[in-house]
Amino acid sequence: MPRTKKKTTSKKPMMMGERKLGRVLITGASAGIGAELAREFASHGHSLVLVARSKDKLDALAGELNAAHDTDAVVIAQDLAESDGAANVVAHLPKHGIEIDILVNNAGVIDVGPFADVEAETYQHMIALNIASLTAFTSLLLPPMIDRRFGRILNVASLAGFQPIPSMAVYAATKAYVLSLTEALSEELRGTGVKVTALCPGLTDTNMVAGIKAKSDTAKWTPSLLISDPKSVAKQAYKATMSGRTILVPGLPNQLAAAWAQVNPRWVVRTVTGFATRQADWMKGK
């Protein structure tokens, strides 16, 4: 099939100096790492578009940021697991006269347990959000960034993206996709003015981890030293995004784990993660 160049709305190329700070669109901004990223971008003076399903939480966050930083955060409530979720959001932007300079693909969900025990629908939903929506946003918002010769994309992957993880096999595979896509694009986009960053946090103190802890004694035993503060993760992610770094793994223990997974043969890595995860109570039907 012949490839057609995507039409974009940009009329003239924008030089980096013309616009002091970029407008940022953050998915999954109503809680956790996404909300902290919104606070971090706002504190540096960026305008924001906040996207998630919970309109009440987004409105509260927009009010907080507008008051604290004199920004003009716009809220768009949308279920991004819907097949046209990303397109619906992007279709709203011209109505507000908004061009996006920085895309933060953060929204994501997890499920843990033996693969065969989880409903097929749960996996479809996870793939729709963690992979399809992130890809659609990137595909829709990247061409105008290239035309303007400036843009940043922050994709929230995970430490889980560096190796297969039995008991969260689909989640880890979605994050391996995000990491691989980011690395490929960062090379493909060399010289365009657009940079792509993969944020690969380890365990971070958000509702996602609280949800796993609520169901599992194994997770409750996780030493607090191994659980990162979302504010600190967001601060590091902001710097990495603006400087155009390709991969950020926040925190020394997570950096060591990522390095370990990359220097060992694949069979060693999967055997060790297989042994470790078989000890977890969620694999023993508890």
**Binding site residues, ligand NAP, CB under 6 A:** 28-34, 52-54, 57, 79-81, 106-110, 129, 156, 158, 201, 203-204, 206-209
3-state secondary structure of 90: helix
Token output for 198 = 């993969």
Give the separation between CA 231 and CA 249, rounded to whole angstroms: 15
Give the separation between CA 142 and CA 109, rounded to whole angstroms: 24
**Region at 46 (left for phi over 0; alpha for psi -120 to 50; beta for the rest):** beta
Q: Which is nearer to ligand NAP, 185 or 209 (CB)?
A: 209
Shortest Å, Cβ 210 to ligand NAP: 8
Shortest Å, Cβ 35 to ligand NAP: 7
CB 97 within 8 A of CB 72: no
Scan for tokens 């690395």, then name that residue: 183
Shortest Å, Cβ 15 to ligand NAP: 33
CB 42 within 8 A of CB 65: yes
Q: Which is nearer to ligand NAP, 10 or 88 (CB)?
A: 88
Shortest Å, Cβ 278 to ligand NAP: 21
Shortest Å, Cβ 33 to ligand NAP: 4
Q: What are φ and ψ of residue 165, in 5° steps? A: -125, 105
Query: Is 238 annotated as catalytic?
Result: no
Q: Which is nearer to ligand NAP, 32 or 193 (CB)?
A: 32
Q: Which is nearer to ligand NAP, 122 or 207 (CB)?
A: 207
Closest to 277 (Cα-Cα) out of 161, 175, 160, 180: 160
Is the alpha carbon torsion for 208, 241, 74, 82 positive or negative? Answer: negative
Q: Which is nearer to ligand NAP, 182 or 206 (CB)?
A: 206
Give the separation between CA 71 and CA 91, rounded to whole angstroms: 22
Catalytic center residues: 171
